[in-house]
Amino acid sequence: MPEKPVFFDEMRGPSGDETRDPYIDYCAWISTEDVNHLRRKSAQAEALFRLTGITFNVYGMEDQTERLIPFDIVPRIITAKEWAVLEKGIEQRVRAINSFLHDIYHRQEILRAGRMPVEMIAQNKAFLPQMIGVAPPGNIYTHIVGTDLVRTGENDFYVLEDNARTPSGVSYMLENRETMLHMFPELFSRNRVRAVSHYPRSLRRSLSASLPPVCDGAPTLAVLTPGIHNSAYFEHAFLADQMGVELVEGHDLRVVNGRVAMRTTQGYQPIDVLYRRVDDDFLDPLNFNPDSMLGVPGILDVYRAGGITIANAPGTGIADDKAIYSYMPEIVEFYTGEKAILKNVPTWRCSEADALAYVLDHLDELVVKEVHGSGGYGMLVGPATSKKELAAFRRKLEAKPANYIAQPTLSLSTVPVLTRAGLAPRHVDLRPFALASPQGVEIIPGGLTRVALKKGSLVVNSSQGGGTKDTWVLED
């Protein structure tokens, strides 16, 4: 008798002994495959990734600075019906976030209406005063959004985070699919899987549609990277290559004739739309961090004068802060007049007395996060923490409650991965990618599924032993 899973398994269902509809065909296929053969295929896939150079850099390591993110060959499958809901929900959030950003850098109606406390913005480092009064083309601030979702049951999806600054991972989504098509072409003739390969074209179209006022022809695009030592360099090069545009670094760019221009073999050529993968702080040493060697002095001035579109706009970070996140249901409602389609993870803002009391009472059940923290630093996972550590954390929390939010410990769904012993369930999340332009919002069916390869682990981050899967959205 197989042990009954505690978590919702997307292949085997809540009971663990059925096969959920979207996986029926895949299960039929895999049951006829030899595990050793599949493992060899898996090794081939890895060799292919290495050859292609789909690697990420790890900082501070002398040796082997380029690492692979492990790829698991079992796809994560989503039905057309499930996707329809996710798609609508993400689009709604992306629209709301852009409206919120426009509002927060203009009249701040949401604060005036008392729907969000002023301190949320006033004390937030991600709020950039230099962006006040700046309206980018079509009022699009965040052009590329990665929405992190988790699933806990048949119909239970939650948004964990809205990445509105510079979400990464889309190259893995594309390469995972390429690899699957290459290794298992037969699977794609048996299953009708929606394509993702048009992403670079969509990205290009979407960015081109956000052309700045100064541009009156076909816009010139470029991707700005911090350089080959950045952990996501592969992705930057990949996207530039796939879009057929130049990959530039700060030192390739200068302000020339009132435009941001790149140094070509034939002199300086102006750029209309810059897809930048350099953080706000490093973007412009003249206007932000003066020590930055990665940015372009004066680019913000040209931007404010309407001479270039920067995607995503500076200052979008104000929309993907953890404390702001807790207001997303209000934000969606305030700007769209509709209830949020996708649920937020219930969040207790410890700045509020009632919430704080609840959190202190249930500390051993909750996940407590620092408002401005990231990467799991300063985080408490109640169920996995000793009494002594809980007591220590309680003191920190009581001393600075406004610094924290708390959320229930989520039972992330699982999808099987291929292990030495055959298929075994592992926890997953999902990051679909949305493109926003003055012409609308487009969401690529699927996204990047990250999987915690360690048994029982809930951490899907690639830096902590996470891997990725191809994500299938089935046709209706």
Interface ranges with another protein (CB under 8 A): 50-53, 105-108, 111, 118, 122, 129-133, 228, 233, 237, 240-241, 246-249, 251-252, 254-258, 262-267, 285-286, 290, 297-298, 301-302, 304-307
Q: Is the peptide bond before 98 cis (omega within 30 degrees of 0)?
A: no
User: Virtual CA dihedral for 237, 242, 245, 248, nearest 10 degrees?
Assistant: -10
Q: 235 to each of 16, 52, 190, how far by Cα in Å?
A: 37, 12, 30
Query: Minimum CB separation from another protein for residue 305, in Å?
Result: 4
| Closest to another protein by CB, 39 or 106 | 106
| Closest to another protein by CB, 252 or 333 | 252
Q: 236 to each of 193, 228, 233, how far by Cα in Å?
A: 26, 9, 5
Query: Minimum CB separation from another protein for residue 179, in Å?
Result: 14
Placement of tokens 């709604």 in the chain: 92
| Closest to another protein by CB, 295 or 467 | 295
| Closest to another protein by CB, 254 or 343 | 254
Query: Minimum CB separation from another protein for residue 423, in Å?
Result: 31
Query: Minimum CB separation from another protein for residue 67, in Å?
Result: 14
| Closest to another protein by CB, 133 or 375 | 133
Q: 31 to each of 10, 27, 423, how far by Cα in Å?
A: 17, 6, 11
| Closest to another protein by CB, 335 or 393 | 335
Q: How many Cα atoms sit within 13 Å of 198 on the Cβ side?
A: 12
**DSSP-based three-state secondary structure for 472:** strand
Q: 360 to each of 322, 366, 395, 400, 411, how far by Cα in Å?
A: 19, 10, 10, 13, 21
Query: Minimum CB separation from another protein for residue 313, in Å?
Result: 14
Neighbours of 372 (CB within 10 A): 14
Hey, what are 142's tokens?
């965040």
| Closest to another protein by CB, 45 or 74 | 45
**DSSP-based three-state secondary structure for 449:** strand
Query: Minimum CB separation from another protein for residue 343, in Å?
Result: 31
Positive or negative, the CA dihedral 174, 179, 180, 182 is positive
| Closest to another protein by CB, 252 or 352 | 252
Query: Minimum CB separation from another protein for residue 427, in Å?
Result: 33
Task: Annotate 276-290 with b (16+ C-beta within 10 A) or e (fewer).
Answer: bbbbbbbbbbebbee
Query: Minimum CB separation from another protein for residue 263, in Å?
Result: 5
